[in-house]
Every structure is written in C-alpha cells, then in structure tokens.
Amino acid sequence: MQRPASPTHRRLDGLRVAAAAVLVGVATTALAWWRLGPTARSTVWAEDGGLFLRERIALGPVDSLLHPYAGYLHLVPRLLVDVAWALPVQDYARALSAGACVVVGAVSVTVFLLARDVVPQWPLRALLAAVPALLPLAPYEISGNAANLHWYMLFAAPWLFAYRARTWWASGTVAVLTAFAVLTELQTVLFLPLLLLAWFPLRNGPGDRAWPRAVPVTIVALIGAGAQVGTALTGQRSQPPGRPAFTDVVAGWLLQPVAGTWTPDVGAAVRAVVIHGWGVVLVPVLLVAATVVVALVVGTWRARWVIVALAAVSGGVWWAALIANGGQGQAWAHPIPALAAVPPLRYAAASGMLLLAAVVVAASVLLDARPAQRGVRPTRRGARPAGALRFVRVLAGWSVVAVLVVAVVGNLAPGATRRSDGPVWATQVPGAVAACAGDPTRDVEIRKAPWTAKVPCSRLLER
C-alpha cells in the first residue's frame, strides 16, 4: 500500500508546481511580446484608441467598465485601457501591448495550473499553456492589444469551468478569474456544460467529497453568462447577420483556422488546394482526427469531455463569427486563386487556439498509461497485444507532439502583422502637444491602426 505524502512533501510539490507555473507565465509573456516586433508593440490598434478610449474619457474609469459595445461586455480590455491611460500619453501604445502580453501570460499560468487533472505530464501541460503565444496566427491581429483579449478569455474558460477545486482558496480564486473571463467574452457560454466536471469527483473513492467547492464558480459563471446574454439580446450590431452555406463554413475552417495552426500564410493553403486539390489539406487533417478519435476511445471520461468541448467550440466559434460578420463570407468551398489574398481573420486565430488545445490534450491521453488500466490484469497471452497497443499509442502521441513543435518553432520569429507599418504612437505625441498650444480645450488627432484617435489637449499638456 502506498503511503500518503507527508505535509513537507506536499509543500515541496506545491512549490515546484508554482515555480513551474511562474516560469511558463514569464516565458509566454516574453514570447508574445517578442513575436510582435518593435513597430507593432508601439502602435495602437482599433478600439484601443477608438471606442474603448473615447468611452474611458467620456464615462470615467468605473462607468466604462461594463458599458456594452456591439452587444457584448468587455471587462478585461477596458481595465487594461484604464491602466494604460493612467500612464504618460506617449507610453499608451507600449503599455497596452505589454499589458496584453501580461494577460496572455496570466492565462497561460491559469491553464498550466488548472489542466493538471486532464494533462498530467508537465511538458505537455506547458505546451498547452503556451498555445496562445505559440499559435502562428496570433501576432497578425489578436496578440498584443486590448481589443482582442476576449479570445484569450475564451481559451481560459474551459479550464476554469472544469477545474475540481481542492481547497476553498482555490475555489474562490477560480471564481474571481471566471468573472473576468465571462464578463469579457460572450462565447464562454458555449463551455458552460463543462461546469458539470467541477461537481463530479476526480476518481471513484471516499476521499473526494468536496463538491460544495464547485458552487462559487458555478454561480459566478451563470450570473456572468446571464449578463452577457442579456446584453447581446438587448444590444444592437452594426452588421446584419450572414447566412454562409455549411460547405463554405467547413471549407473555410480548413483553410483558415486549421491551416493557421501550421503557418500564418493561410493563402498558401488556398493556393495548394487550387493547384493540387483538397487532398493536400484533408489527408493531414484526417490523420490528426484519427488520433483524436483514438484518444476519445482510450481516455478518461474527463479528458473525453474536454476534447469534445474544445473541438466543437473551435468549429462553433468560426461558424458563429461568419454568421455575425455577414460581410466576411467567402466561397471557401470553391477556392479560386483570388481567395488566397484573403488575410487571416481574427476569429480564425481563436478557433485555431482551441483546436490546438484539443490536439495537445489528445496527445496527452495517448501518452498517459493510466487510462489503459481498466481494473483487469491482462493474461500472459494478452500481454503482447497490450504492449503493442501501448507502443502504437505512444508513437502516435509523440508524433502529434513532434508535428506541433515543428509547426510552432518554424513560426516563432516576428512576422507580418496588421500593425507592422505603424503608425508609431509615441513619435506623434510631440506634434500633438504642439497643436494644443493655441487652444488647450480642444482635442487633437493621433493616428492609429486603422484610422485616428482623438486625445484631449488637457491630457496631453499634463506634466
């Protein structure tokens, strides 16, 4: 019989896990920052210098936090704009970029700690946690700005909902983090069924009866989801919904989110399909799908539900975005050379993150010996088939990991982004200050990507 771990050993184990989580968070933050490149880091993007900044100035730091925009609540982006706006104006762009990268690092720490029950191997759990910074498509639009932080909240949601808290401190912390996630991204409601995993024990036995600790996260998630749904139902969107054909949804998912997990040049996938046919995309996708199916067969019930949820929401996010953004529809099912010019879409990156997470969890299942133990000891006659099956599982698992590592390592260097050409925010501030000299009560325009931001002279002239 195995002796229970002593308090000293438990404390040491806790310290090792905490130290590893901090290292993962720091590394992920640094990687996200580095991949942006110097110009993108110094350029304000979209709502960060537009609606979020305008409403922060008009409504103040409190009333703006839960002010609806386009039918959604955006708590974390608005908090980040608050923090950046409190700094000198010339530092606004870099403060937003740095803050957004820190949030990505915090999401990575959260996933690394909460995914332990589903992904027990720490190297794979570190890979899973770093997916938001490793994704080839991330720097192009969604990384390093407040306007797209809601996608990273969506990535954290399944792990926040499914986590089985061991202590009330952990339960309270997860509930607080859940509030930030749900009040930032409406589509976290798609993961609400995973709350059931927080209520069921990790293993069959008398030692896991702490179901009341699932109450805080459940209450917070449901209240936050209700607020988001209510806002969506009463808010107005500027674009009418689209009606994409199902074949275009599936084909677009293959050509953007799926292809974007391998390369940021999603146009290359379109060109390959135009020249060689759909087989160049479908064959590798079917091979990965086969490993995921095997993981669903041999994995624990908890891992199965997480994999299904991640894969389903990956497709759901893509489909919902095509419906919500009616002007983004394309004839993906019948690609032509001109379709290769369509740039990576921001929701393709979100869908790709969830898909990569599902594949990492599936690889963890294949490499974990525990799911194969069903309580029946194989006979000597069955030992060889069991050993062969184990070998095939391990080979498939490491093959998946190797493909993922090759994909991300080949795309780590800073590349093209929607902010690669600027305009750099800080270099425009001296001119804006000079323009305020004649009338300190006016607003002046500072260019951002795209369009311009209006900044009060009273703020620019502050020392």
Cβ(335)–Cβ(302) under 8 Å?
A: no
Please give the residue that has the higher pLDDT: either 314 or 414.
314
Cβ(133)–Cβ(84) under 8 Å?
A: no
| pLDDT of 208 higher than 60 | no
- What pLDDT score does 33 carry? 97
| pLDDT of 373 higher than 50 | no
Q: What are 443's strand-pairing partners?
A: 456
Please give the residue that has the higher pLDDT: either 209 or 29.
29
How would residue 380 be classed by pLDDT, with cut points 50, 70 and 90? very low
How would residue 142 be classed by pLDDT, with cut points 50, 70 and 90? very high
Residue 334, SS3?
A: coil
* Tens digit of each residue's pLDDT (9 = 90 or more) over 76-131: 999 999 999 999 999 999 999 999 999 999 999 999 999 999 999 999 999 999 99
| pLDDT of 44 higher than 70 | yes
- What pLDDT score does 236 carry? 72
Cα separation, 273 vs 270, in Å, equals 5
Per-residue burial over 52-86, b if 16 or more Cβ lie within 10 Å, else e, is bbebbbeeeeeebbebbbebbbbbbbbbbbbebbe
Cα separation, 371 vs 291, in Å, equals 15
Specify the pTM.
Answer: 0.92
Query: End-to-end distance of the chain based on CA atoms, in angstroms?
Result: 69
Parallel, antiparallel or unpaired: strands 452-456 and 443-447: antiparallel
Cα separation, 109 vs 106, in Å, equals 5
Cα separation, 303 vs 361, in Å, equals 7
Phi, psi of 387 (to 5 degrees): -65, -40
How would residue 205 be classed by pLDDT, with cut points 50, 70 and 90? very low
Cα separation, 181 vs 152, in Å, equals 9
Cα separation, 50 vs 42, in Å, equals 16
Cα separation, 275 vs 289, in Å, equals 24
Cβ(104)–Cβ(152) under 8 Å?
A: yes
- What pLDDT score does 1 carry? 44
Cα separation, 436 vs 172, in Å, equals 48
**Which residue has 């490149």 as its token pair?**
37
* Highest mean pLDDT pick, 1-15, 164-178, 238-252: 164-178
Amino acid at 55: E
Cβ(198)–Cβ(164) under 8 Å?
A: yes
Alpha carbons within 13 angstroms on the beta-carbon side of residue 248 total: 16
* Tens digit of each residue's pLDDT (9 = 90 or more) over 214-263: 999 999 999 999 999 999 998 776 666 778 889 999 999 999 999 999 99
Q: What mean pLDDT is reported for the chain?
A: 89
Phi, psi of 34 (to 5 degrees): -65, -40
- Residue closest to 131 by CA, chosen among 334, 310, 301, 309: 310
